[in-house]
Structure 1
Amino acid sequence: MTSTVLGNVRPWGGEAVDIWLSGGQISAITPASTASAGGARIEGKGLLALPGLINAHAHVDKSWWGLPWVSYGGERTTQGRIAHERAERAGLGIPSVATTTAVLREFLRHGTTAVRSHVDVDLGVGLQGIEYVREATAAFDGAIDVEIVAFPQDGVMRRPGVLELLDAAAAAGANTIGGIDPASIDRDPVAQLDGLFEIAERRAVGLDIHLHDHDQLGAFQYELIIERTKRAGLAGRVTISHGFALGELPAAQRDDLLDALRDAGIGWATVAPIGSAPLPWSAMRDRGIPIGLGTDGIRDLWSPFGDGDMLRIALNFARLHGLRSDTELGYAVELASSRAAGYVHRAVHDLAPGAPADIVLVDAENVPDALVRVPRRELVIGGGQVVVREGELVV
């Protein structure tokens, strides 16, 4: 099998090396040289190298990226946003292969090579959105991986038939099914969670539950999820997304919940929104509770914001949580790359032999410099193929 060498790069800002790529994986890392040993050589010019970025919470089926500007509308509540989206999405051709492709191109341009995307499953679109996302992803020929979370944005129990759609999605290959605000959306947290966990256990899939509810209402639902995760033996397969309440609870209650989340093997995903209560990130890190970062939706009917750049999301996380030291700033970048491997079912995602050949080069002195300046991606390799040069897509 022919090898390619990415020569003269600095992994995580360290000493210059050559990274050897073969069969979509990193096959070896050797001291920097000028040789190609008979294979193709890509000159890295001494640039800083990072693993491909991982978006652990996206909605690639929802965006109007690439379409004419869509003005923000509807009521500014979760229920209001859901209603507005349902009323307007068909007129914008959402979901579709074209709009999903436009989002994935932006992700790649910014160095994201793996995505965990919630894809709407409801009585209006059925499973069509999942098919569109799969078709759009396949066209990139392995340059970007997308793991699908079948997501009931409009609720579960209040929409009879949605549980059956989630079950069908799991049977058809979705790795994960989702839930949303069991208390405030469905107003029946026990029924929603029991239904979701039954499918997850029977179909051997993961769960990723959006929880926007605050304070004690949020904490109550964490407890329900912890109980069911332990009972179903789903450690390592359950994620709470957003989870705003965790940063709002009294310290003693929060610490007890963190211990319970650790013992249950539950992870967290956050988009680090401005104005939210900071997560107890260091206590989570010390307990080994995974944290994944994501863009959420970008330019969709919920919000006009976002550009798909995970390095910028990592910067938002750092600023929201008051990170300052080089080690802390480096940790934020790790959350958007190597530490997020489990969210896309990868055993390892790093600049190391055996890892996927997903690599991002930036012109930066070190990792903290790359984080705070968010420079353009000079080169992006996804699945072993060059997909971006000097900030522009070449696929």
Structure 2
Amino acid sequence: MTSLLLANVRPWGGPPVDVVIADGRIVDVVPAGTATTTGERIDGRGLLALPGFVNAHAHVDKSWWGRPWVPYGGEATTQGRIAHERAERDKYGIPSVDGAKAVLREFLRHGTTATRTHVDVDLGVGLRGIENVLAAAESLGNAVDVEIVAFPQDGVMRRPGVLDLLDRAAAEGATSIGGLDPASIDRDPVAQLDALFEIAERRDVGLDIHLHDGGELGAFQYELIIERTLRAGLAGKVTVSHGFALGELSTDRQARLVDQLGEAGISWATVAPVRSAPLPWRAMRDRGVAIGLGTDGIRDLWSPYGDGDLLRVALGFARLHGLRTDDELAYAIELATTEGARFVHREQHGVAPGSRADVVLLDAENVQDALVRAPRRELVVAGGKVVVRDGELRV
């Protein structure tokens, strides 16, 4: 029985169609005006239809969204941000169910219906942050499909007991475990990576490693990750997040590394920060190195920026990398939607039969127009349920 019909919409700016949805999935896409329904019918008014956005790198446990403004403080280094967050987070009730829920609601407002989120696991909070995020997602009816990366933000080897927490998280349902700057934070990259890969291989989970280190120090750690991925047979299960060094290397050095990353099946998650070096995205695409886009933290103790709009992140990626042609601009949208599917373990993600019914309607001429203007999301369907109508949240 049909539960929802999106009538007269234009997937990817193409000809108008009717999208038939039942039991949370798209079951048919037919020419506009030819579908019938026994459930709710929504007139799409010829609006542009895109798949729900996929946020491949988030930190939904950290935000003070919805609270009074929190001034930026502490030192502007990775270690400085860690120390500041550890000193201040309890004051602002971080992490909490309400805080995570506020971020997930902003994701929905902007059309994000799936996310891979890093959640801090450390000696201070244990696994409480993961419990809070899952409770927040459940309170929204799992409209945002959430995957958890148990993330050791305060280091691994330098904090005895964190490895045990990561192992517990993996045993209790986290789809990935994380790592952080094995060289500059733990100052023992071999020990950190060996320990993380041992858990990932034994627990059959993914591995997602934050790497901020630049230049040859960053490249050296890529090589260690590549070696271990191939040795453990974890192709398709390892992600480097940020990875700023890749854009800083010489062209020849980049090319060799991209070939090796492709061979090892390692993916890349980026938030396309404004002052970072552009990635060799064409070579990465050609060699099968998956790229995912993410928002990173949103209004947290690391940064006052962010609003949860992945479309704006896609625009930032396009501007950072000098994308100009229609095909290139469309590619930025694909990174934020269909290409993000693999980061949340989906075999398909689109406005097509068989996909989870995640559909975003925008008042835009085409995908290129949607990218450069980032108009409001007129309608968002998540898992077959209308969660945004006329730009307003309904959850």
Q: Which amino acid aligns with 2:53?
A: L
Structure 2 residue 57 is the aligned partner of structure 1 residue 57: yes
Structure-2 residue corresponding to 1:247: 247
Q: Check whether the contact 2:65–2:99 (CA below 8 A) recurs between aligned residues.
A: yes
What is the RMSD computed on CA atoms of the aligned residues? Answer: 0.7
Does structure 1 retain, via aligned residues, the 8 Å contact 2:4–2:37? no
Q: What corresponds to 2:313 in structure 1?
A: 313
Corresponding residue for residue 139 of structure 1: 139
Q: How does 1:90-105 map to 2 (within 5 A)?
A: 90-105=90-105
Asked whether 1:178 is paired with 2:178, we answer: yes
Residue 39 of structure 1 deviates from its aligned partner by: 2.9
* Runs of at least 5 residues in structure 2 that lack an aligned partner in the other structure: none
- The answer for the alignment partner of 1:350 in structure 2 is 350
Q: Deviations over 1:145-171 (max 9, x none)?
A: 110000000000000000010000000
AA in 1 matched with 2:384? G
Runs of 4+ aligned residues of structure 1 deviating over 3 Å after TM superposition are none
Matches within 5 A, 1:15-30: 15-30=15-30
Q: What amino acid maps onto 1:382 in structure 2?
A: A
Q: What SS class does the counterpart of residue 378 from structure 1 fall into?
A: strand
Question: Who is 1:340 aligned against?
Answer: 340
Asked if 2 retains the 8 angstrom alpha-carbon contact of 1:7 and 1:34, the reply is no
Amino acid at match of 1:157: M
Matched residue SS, 1:45: strand
Q: In the alignment, does 2:123 pair up with 1:85?
A: no
Q: Percent identity?
A: 73
Aligned residue pairs, count: 395
Q: How does 1:269-348 map to 2 (within 5 A)?
A: 269-348=269-348
Assess if the C-alpha contact under 8 Å between 1:4 and 1:36 holds in 2. no
Q: Does 1:232 align with 2:235?
A: no
Within 2, Cα distance between the matches of 1:35 and 1:175? 38
Question: What SS does the corresponding residue of 1:258 show, helix, strand or coil?
Answer: helix
Q: Distance in 2 between matches of 1:391 and 1:224?
A: 46
3-state SS of 1:89 partner: helix
Deviations 1:106-130 (A, max 9, x none): 0000000001000000000000000
Partner residue of 1:375?
375
1:203 paired residue number? 203
**Counterpart residue identity of residue 5, structure 1:** L
Q: Determine the C-alpha separation between the residues in 2 that align with 1:48 and 1:36.
A: 21
Aligned equivalents of 1:72, 1:271: Cα separation in 2: 20
Q: Distance in 2 between matches of 1:129 and 1:38?
A: 42
**Shift, 1:35, TM fit:** 5.1
Gaps of 5+ in 1: none
Q: Displacement, 1:50?
A: 0.2
Q: Secondary structure at the match of 2:377?
A: coil
**Distance in 2, Cα, partners of 1:69 & 1:36:** 49
For each residue in 1:2-25, what CA deviation from the matched residue of structure 2 results, as whole angstroms up to 9, or x when unmatched? 332100000000000000001111
The answer as to whether partners of 2:121 and 2:150 remain within 8 angstroms in 1 is yes
> What SS is found at the alignment partner of 1:254?
helix
- Specify the alignment match of 2:162 in structure 1: 162
1:349 is matched by which residue type in structure 2?
Answer: H
Contact 2:121 2:166 in 1 (8 A): yes
CA contact (8 A) 1:330 1:367 kept: yes
How far has the Cα of 1:54 moved from its partner? 0.5
- Report the Cα distance in structure 2 between the residues aligned to 1:37 and 1:114, rounded to whole angstroms: 27
The separation in 2 between residues aligned to 1:38 and 1:174, in whole angstroms, is 39
Whole-angstrom CA distance in 1 between matches of 2:317 and 2:11: 22
Offset of residue 253 of structure 1: 1.2
**Alpha-carbon separation, structure 2, partners of 1:382 and 1:91:** 34
Please give the alpha-carbon distance, in whole angstroms, between the structure 2 residues aligned to 1:259 and 1:182: 23
CA contact (8 A) 1:267 1:291 kept: yes
C-alpha distance after superposition, 1:329-348 (max 9, x if no partner)? 00000000001100001000
CA distance in 2, matches of 1:30, 1:307: 35
Report the counterpart of residue 388 of structure 1 in structure 2. Answer: 388
Q: CA deviation at 1:376?
A: 0.2
Instruction: State the distance in 1 between where 2:80 and 2:331 align.
Output: 36
**Pair 194,5 (structure 1): closer, same or farther in 2 beyond 3 Å:** same
Please list the CA deviations of residues 152-204 of structure 1 after superposition, one character each: whole Å capped at 9, or x if unmatched: 00000000000010000000010000000000000000000000000000000
TM-score, length basis structure 1 = 0.99
Q: Which amino acid aligns with 1:60?
A: V
Distance 1:391 1:245 in 2: 39
Aligned counterpart, 2:31: 31
Q: Give 3-state SS (helix, strand or coil) of 1:221's partner.
A: helix
Normalised by the length of structure 2, the TM-score is: 0.99
Letter paired with 1:210: H
